[in-house]
Amino acid sequence: MTNQQEFKSKIKRVLITEAELQERIKHAGSMLSEEYQGKPLLLVSILKGAFVFLADLCREITIPCEIDFMATKSYYGGTTNCGTVNIVYELEHDISQYHVLIVEDIIDTGITLKDVVKKLKARNPLSLKVITLLDKTDARKVEFEADYTLFEIPNEYVIGYGLDSGEYYRNLPYIAVFDEKR
Ligand code: 5GP
């Protein structure tokens, strides 16, 4: 990324404002605080895209909770199996002691979460649910539905609020459509 003008020119339009994000996240936080009251809650975030959402969501949760991270690498098509996701950075917790809530940035094809959920369920958590900030339902390649979705969005490449293009734009405080042509 060479200059500020080029950086800005690729932000096509704001899709979800900072205020809209904060309002929904506040609501989600209070709903989760009720649902998990009295239960050992572990928030699991898949790096890197969900780190901003996790940071805001956990501060709207008013009950005790713990936080853990994992990172995955996906292999699509080519010579490898479509839909294979490898865990390249592991959770520290033994999740069999917890009600696990996966905190995800965006569901696109559904391949990542479908496989991650399968792998984590095999570790026998007390329960396992998924909350996603964004859902591109039109882009699904495998059947997968989150338990909680904050925003359904059209099938366009988005950036900001943790989501990147080439590692840039994660620090935008809003969600924007990325202009891939410019
Ligand atoms: P899925 O396995 O559902 O196709 O992909 C999920 C992952 O793909 C997300 O966690 C995210 O890292 C990436 N991804 C999917 N759509 C977008 C998008 O519009 N923008 C960005 N920045 N990443 C995306």
C-alpha pair distances (Å), 130 with each of 77, 90, 136, 148: 26, 18, 15, 6
What pLDDT score does 79 carry?
Answer: 42
DSSP state of 115: H
Ligand 1 site, residue 108, Cβ cutoff 6 A: yes
What does the alpha-carbon distance between residue 163 and residue 24 come to, in Å, rounded to a whole number? 18
Residue nearest to atom 19 of ligand 1 (CA): 157
Which residues face 48 on adjacent strands? none
Q: Is the pLDDT of residue 144 over 80?
A: yes
pLDDT, average across residues 127-132: 98
Can you say how many angstroms the Cα of residue 39 is from the centroid of all Cα atoms in its chain?
Answer: 23
Q: How far is the CA of 62 from the centre of ligand 1 (A)?
A: 29
pLDDT, average across residues 142-171: 97
What are the pLDDT digits (tens) for 85-115? 899 999 999 999 999 999 999 999 999 999 9
Of 108, 115, 138, 147, the catalytic one is 108
pLDDT, average across residues 24-48: 98
What pLDDT score does 181 carry?
Answer: 77
* pTM over the 0.85 mark: yes
Domains and CATH numbers, the chain: 21-151 (3.40.50.2020)
What pLDDT score does 92 carry?
Answer: 97
Q: How far is the CA of 151 from the centre of ligand 1 (A)?
A: 14
Q: Is 147 a catalytic residue?
A: no
What does the alpha-carbon distance between residue 35 and residue 131 come to, in Å, rounded to a whole number? 13
Which atom of ligand 1 is nearest the CA belonging to 163?
A: 22
pLDDT, average across residues 145-161: 97
pLDDT, average across residues 19-44: 98
pLDDT, average across residues 142-155: 97
What pLDDT score does 5 carry?
Answer: 85
Q: Is the pLDDT of residue 81 over 50?
A: no
Q: Is the pLDDT of residue 1 over 70?
A: no
What pLDDT score does 180 carry?
Answer: 83
Strands 84-89 and 66-75, bridge-based pairing: antiparallel
Q: Is the pLDDT of residue 78 over 50?
A: no
Ligand 1 site, residue 135, Cβ cutoff 6 A: no
pLDDT, average across residues 68-76: 86
What does the alpha-carbon distance between residue 75 and residue 85 come to, in Å, rounded to a whole number? 6
